[in-house]
Structure 1
């Protein structure tokens, strides 16, 4: 059809005929083989073309095309249509390709989040330690409770504790007394406070009093409790007790103030830790008799000065000996009731004896509360040899007595059978289920033993009254203050006391 239209258009332009041949008869008048000059005559038409044009015209009906064959030429697609068709085919090819844009956007967001945290995070948070002795680390005030008018119970938690907690880190150990240094950034000073291995497990909805629990597992490390007394004239105590929940404070430590000397019993299993229930405290292990006995201590404290003693008693691996504690308080409310309950458990297990001296009731530490010192059970290798020799002599004496009894009962007179001869007595040895049963029913109460070492902790006036004023003004930070007060009158010396400031 296009060829025919083009030919007819040429005929109209190159001829002087004003009209257009619309009938087949007009086409037949054109000569098939005529010589046309180059001046504008019509070129000759081939026979095949004229035959094709002479055929009868039939109107095309699409319904007659049963085979679905078409002879029409469609227009080419535009670039936009070609691109759309390519995208459609690519989406139909694979489902994963549909998710690629979403995955790319999600990955970019995650990378951006971690990159932001990496470049903007505080460098202190990269430290995996709970405490460092030479660097301040951030802690958060996770709980605060006012015990009475002057005392506050504050729980501190290591910042980002969940992400840095390591199972091998253990802050509390009954073999040492330690404290932490807290920095006041406004005036750039530090103060030492003794933490307790406790954390807040819940709150009483009526009284808002915390339910304290002992730190007994590695995953519970990174939290501890401070008992702080607020002084009206103390800038630091007023700043610390005014901290609100989730306020950040910086701590450094641990600062070891006293380490328990070595004892041969350290090679044997440790004494079990206290528990919130008396029936849950495991019994003490049995120690051999040929080893020197554990030491007995005396502890004279006033106010919050009792915290170093409580730290040792509440920590894992508590002291194996016995402690006589004399605690001077202005009011009974100065010490939280839950701490008194734990002290009562320690008494019932034979680990300590607490004597509370309340100033409002007229009680005061006097000379009758201070006993004379005795020599320590272990001071070197010679004491181990002495203990072994004493134990050997004890076994020899028992053996001599057994032999003597056998000689005296060699001749046994004939007698009728008795009931005990037919049914022998059974040797039933009951084992204690907890430390309370062990101390109350299975272990004989030891005689009164004088202490071999004494601790003094409290305000400066109390320490001077009991043992004299300490002096740490030397390079070794060793206490060289003169001994005086109640302890000097009883025969104590600087070698068997420790003044905790």
Structure 2
């Protein structure tokens, strides 16, 4: 029976596996040993040794074993993985070391890493140790500058965001902190400082105001002064909670004369000079506000609101063309006026009646950038010449020499009473531009003017060519016909190009030598009047204004000197 099992076991178990083969050989060796022991023992054979030896010899006949086979089976020592503690017909127990190796995580095969493989051999995946070394090598590679600066940029961004959040959350917590970025606001009082103070005479003071933290506010490049509007500011007196209006001038103090202690005033021309302006304040002994304002010291804070627009210049077609140059502190540096088209209506002319500090609105107009293009006739009533600084008088003189304004100073005191009378008031004229119809009529008039000049030129040329037989051009030439003279012998009759004419270098030369030569030096009649001064002065000149309405429109009746000359509410503006 044992011999049959020995021959048939390999076909059942299979010898393809090394472990199974070792197990199979060992089990058979043990069984063969037990069989040999029973054969050699005479007691197991019923006490007949001869009979047992014969059976043993008979049972070994079918198997041809080589010599020393028993020695090989006795010396056979399988590896530890096939050792079993108790032989049986079941599977052997697994070695603990082999079990720990099999419980480790297996690396799955990734065909992407072998995409450059040329053969079909399977490449074993990298071990965790190799992967760890490659990761360390990748970290040790040199990095870009942006990658190195990334932590610093993140830290800076976080700090900026934290500062912005803090300021945004706490901007309204302290009302004394100036968080507004504008120079002036109409709906809010902003802090200004008294940066200069000068006593002009016993009753008048010059005060320069500067925006607090002015350097931070100039980033927005806000332009306050221009010649298209008249505006004022409101100053608040915090003790009695009242406000008063004052007209600022586009000037600032550039220095002080060491001898006379008078300030050197400069005009505000650039955006970098904005945020400063001067006030001329008259002190009244019975006026509590004027006494409070003139008693302010240097670096005292004042709350200001504005700009409060008093009057806006109406639209004119010349506003679309080049602006008029601003005044300058020297006469030779004032640029000449640009040449405006002749087919556009002429600029409007104005007349101004002022007294005391009521002259400041018209000074703001003529000192600002882009002043009005028309002519301004100014009648100024004052008690003493010392009310105005010498530099302001000089600028007014320059403005006269440029043909922009005409000042009439009326000094009135106890020794020399000189008041405004009817002889100083002129009749109003119609404006040059009131709408699109005036623009069209102006173009038609310009065409008629060009046609007359062309006809006169043709008549002169024909009279020169044939002086014995003059021809009446007006009767022989049709109105719509344009004649071009082809004669070339009279070169002196040709009109020279405009580039060859002498052009003025400044506004003074333009008005003195060029305008007067053409007969343009006469003062044109005004079409609009401004009145500003004390209440009694305004009432005597044009009647009392009435602004007691929601629109703040002047509905007061016209009276005084202007009523007798034909002025009405449509062509005057009363300023208080």
CA gap 1:206/1:407 in 2 versus in 1, 3 angstroms: closer
Deviations 1:230-289 (A, max 9, x none): 001111000000000000000000000000000010011010000000000000000111
- 459, 462, 467: which is aligned to 1:404? 459
Aligned residue in 1 for 2:508:
436
Kindly indicate whether the alpha-carbon contact (under 8 Å) linking 2:401 and 2:511 is maintained by their aligned counterparts in 1: yes
The yes-or-no answer on 1:242 pairing with 2:262 is no
Asked whether 1:461 is paired with 2:542, we answer no
1:257 aligns with 2:310: yes
Structure 1 residue aligned with 2:441: 386
What is the rounded CA distance, in whole Å, between the counterparts of 1:328 and 1:192 in structure 2?
21
Contact 1:167 1:219 in 2 (8 A): no
Q: Alpha-carbon deviation of 1:443? A: 1.6
Q: Is the 8 A contact 1:167 1:218 kept in 2?
A: no
Give the superposition deviation at 1:124. 4.6
Range with bigger deviation, 196-205 or 164-173: 164-173
Q: Which residue of 2 aligns with 1:477?
A: 552
Q: 1:267 aligns with which of 320, 332, 340?
A: 320
Find the partner of 1:315 among 349, 356, 368. 368
Tell me how far 1:126 sits from its aligned partner: 1.9
Q: In 2, distance between residues paired with 1:465 and 1:404?
A: 56
Tell me if structure 2 keeps the 8 A contact 1:264–1:292.
Answer: yes
Flag structure 2 segments of 5+ consecutive residues without an equivalent.
Answer: 1-155, 469-489
Corresponding position of 2:334? 281
Q: Residues 124-143 of structure 1 correspond to what in structure 2 (within 5 A)?
A: 124-143=177-196
What are the within-5 Å matches in structure 2 for residues 356-375 of structure 1? 356-360=409-413, 361-375=416-430
Map Cα deviations across residues 336-355 of structure 1 (whole Å, 9 max, x no partner). 11111111111000000001
Return the alpha-carbon distance in structure 2 between the equivalents of residues 329 and 124 of structure 1.
Answer: 43
- Structure 1 residue aligned with 2:564: 489
CA root-mean-square deviation:
2.4
How many Å separate the matches in 2 of 1:223 and 1:439?
32
> Quick check: 2:376–2:404 contact (8 Å CA) kept in 1?
yes
- What SS does structure 2 have at the residue aligned with 1:157? strand
- Residues 458 and 135 of structure 1: is their aligned pair in 2 closer, same or farther, counting only changes over 3 Å? same
Residues 461 and 412 (structure 1), Cα distance of their counterparts in 2 relative to 1, 3 Å cut = closer
Matching of residue 189 in structure 1 with residue 242 in structure 2: yes
The farther-off stretch of 240-249 and 354-363 is: 354-363
The offset of 1:122, in angstroms, is 5.8
Provide the C-alpha distance between the structure 2 equivalents of 1:359 and 1:130, rounded to a whole number of angstroms.
Answer: 39
Q: CA deviation at 1:373?
A: 0.4
2:495 and 2:447 map into 1 onto residues whose CA distance is: 31
Q: 1:155 aligns with which of 184, 190, 208?
A: 208
Runs of 4+, deviation exceeding 4 Å: 117-124, 424-428
Q: Distance in 1 between matches of 2:523 and 2:270?
A: 36
User: How far apart in 2 are the matches of 1:278 and 1:204?
Assistant: 21
**RCO higher in 1 or 2 (8 Å CA, sep ≥ 6)?**
1
Equivalence for 2:68: none
Residues 436-464 of structure 1 deviation map (CA, whole Å, 9 limit, x = unaligned): 01110112334442110000000000000
SS of the equivalent of 1:342 reads helix
Is residue 2:268 matched to residue 1:215? yes
**C-alpha separation between the residues in 1 aligned to 2:455 and 2:496?**
26
Map 1:18-417 to 2 at 5 A: 124-360=177-413, 361-411=416-466
Does the C-alpha gap of structure 1 residues 421 and 437 become closer, same or farther in structure 2, counting only changes over 3 Å?
Answer: closer
How far apart are 1:404 and its partner, in Å?
2.3
Deviation for aligned residue 1:330: 1.1
- Partner of 1:29 in structure 2? none
Q: Distance in 2 between matches of 1:338 and 1:449?
A: 28
Q: CA deviation at 1:405?
A: 2.8
Structure 2 CA distance for partners of 1:374 and 1:426, relative to 1, 3 Å: closer
Q: Which runs of 5+ in 1 are unaligned?
A: 1-106, 414-419
Change (3 A) 1:291 1:425: closer
Q: CA deviation digits over 1:40-75, x for unaligned, max 9?
A: xxxxxxxxxxxxxxxxxxxxxxxxxxxxxxxxxxxx
Count of matched residue positions in the alignment of Structure 1 and Structure 2: 384
